[in-house]
């Protein structure tokens, strides 16, 4: 069984929701990332979503754009990110790791080469923001052949018809983008999320994660009432920016916020 599947099954037995923190790999420097991943697990992260830096992050707000820019100062590449996951796996063989990024770095590496490398390094799922199922003809089989879950987004503009199509291609979990907009800009409307999630449940049995617009323990707890997982990104990346000169402080601050969220979820 895949790490993602067994993670959600365990949590389900305990009637718990998954806490999924997002950080950009290599932000604010490549040295911090593996340590930060371990610290996040200790602070209650159930799955880690690792951002792959890209020069043109079209779907991201200013906070995550700047994270990409900081990581790219050190030239953090897709291969570097894979190596970070490999290093992380030396001490952790249980926590699922999802890579989130844009298509072009994968396109340049080649789908098959990338998928094989990701599998070898211990990656579990791939969320590529700018590849809808319509364009994923050779991408999805390449991931599946290497036992990687293709994670897809659903948004407030996705019709039920499209939901059905997307959910057929997706595995691992479904990521519901709770707001129309880019990452980290506005707060989500819990009631609306609840309605949308119940519609998504009609078309799939996959666990549903909700992200975009979760700012603190309170909003995380509210979303956890209706979803199976809560993704928190910009709120953490903000802490990286504020403490960019001190790796220890970044780890300390992010751990503190995650611990709060973790206890709010249980």
From the list 134, 34, 131, the residue with the least C-alpha distance to 90 is 34
How near is the Cβ of 258 to other proteins at its closest, in Å? Answer: 26
143 CB-side CA count, 13 A: 24
Whole-angstrom Cα distance, residue 4 to residue 192? 27
User: Least separation, in Å, of the C-beta of 179 and other proteins?
Assistant: 8
Q: Considering beta carbons, is residue 21 or 105 the nearer one to other proteins?
A: 105
- Cβ-based nearer residue to other proteins, 111 or 221: 111
Report residue 241 as tokens.
């920016």
Least distance CB 217 / other proteins (angstroms): 26
Choosing from 27, 31, 42, 49, the catalytic residue is 49
Active site residue 205: no
CB of 37 to other proteins, least distance (A): 21
Dihedral through CA 111, CA 1, CA 9, CA 223, nearest 10? -10
Q: Is 130 a catalytic residue?
A: no
The torsion defined by the Cα of 215, 101, 78 and 254, in degrees rounded to 10, comes to 10
- Catalog residues that contact other proteins under the rule CB under 8 A: 54-62, 65, 69, 72, 75, 77-79, 102-109, 129-132, 134-135, 152-159, 162, 166, 177, 180-182, 185-186
Looking at the Cβ atoms of 105 and 122, the one nearer to other proteins is 105
Q: In the complex with other proteins, which residue's Cβ is closer, 7 or 209? A: 209
How far apart are the C-alpha atoms of 222 and 41, rounded to whole Å? 22
Is 52:121 a contact under the CB 8 Å cutoff? no
Please report, for residues 11, 108, 128, 155, 206, the alpha-carbon distance to residue 132 in angstroms, rounded to integers and kept in the order given: 29, 18, 9, 12, 18
CB of 155 to other proteins, least distance (A): 4
For residue 19 the two structure tokens come to 């806490």
Alpha helices (runs of H) in the chain, residue ranges in sequence order: 3-13, 32-42, 62-73, 78-91, 103-109, 111-121, 139-145, 160-169, 190-203, 217-224, 234-242, 247-265
CB 158 to other proteins: min, Å:
6
State which residue, 7 or 123, has the beta carbon closest to other proteins: 123
Closer of 62 and 248 to other proteins (Cβ): 62
CB 127 within 8 A of CB 151: yes
By annotation, the residues acting in catalysis are 49, 60
């Amino acid at each position: 069984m895949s790490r993602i599947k067994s993670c959600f099954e365990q949590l389900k037995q305990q009637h718990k929701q998954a806490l999924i923190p997002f950080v950009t790999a290599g932000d604010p420097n490549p040295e911090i990332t593996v340590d930060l991943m371990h610290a996040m697990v200790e602070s209650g992260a159930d799955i880690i979503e690792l951002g792959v830096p890209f020069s043109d992050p079209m779907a991201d707000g200013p906070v995550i754009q700047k994270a990409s820019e900081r990581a790219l100062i050190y030239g953090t590449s897709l291969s570097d990110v894979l190596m970070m996951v490999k290093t992380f796996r030396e001490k952790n063989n249980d926590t699922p790791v999802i890579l989130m990024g844009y298509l072009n770095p994968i396109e340049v590496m080649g789908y098959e080469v990338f998928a094989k490398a990701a599998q070898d390094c211990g990656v579990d799922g791939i969320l590529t923001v700018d590849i809808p199922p319509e364009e994923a003809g050779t991408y999805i089989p390449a991931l599946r052949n290497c036992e990687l879950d293709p994670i897809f987004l659903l948004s407030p503009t996705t019709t039920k018809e499209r939901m059905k199509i997307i959910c057929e291609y997706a595995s691992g979990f479904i990521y519901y983008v709770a707001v129309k907009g880019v990452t980290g800009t506005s707060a989500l409307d819990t009631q609306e999320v609840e309605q949308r999630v119940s519609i998504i449940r009609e078309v799939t049995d996959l666990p549903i994660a909700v992200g975009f617009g979760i700012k603190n323990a309170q909003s995380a707890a509210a979303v956890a009432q209706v979803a199976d997982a809560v993704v928190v990104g910009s709120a953490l990346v903000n802490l990286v920016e504020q403490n960019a000169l001190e790796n220890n402080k970044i780890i300390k601050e992010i751990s503190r916020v995650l611990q709060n969220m973790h206890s709010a979820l249980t």
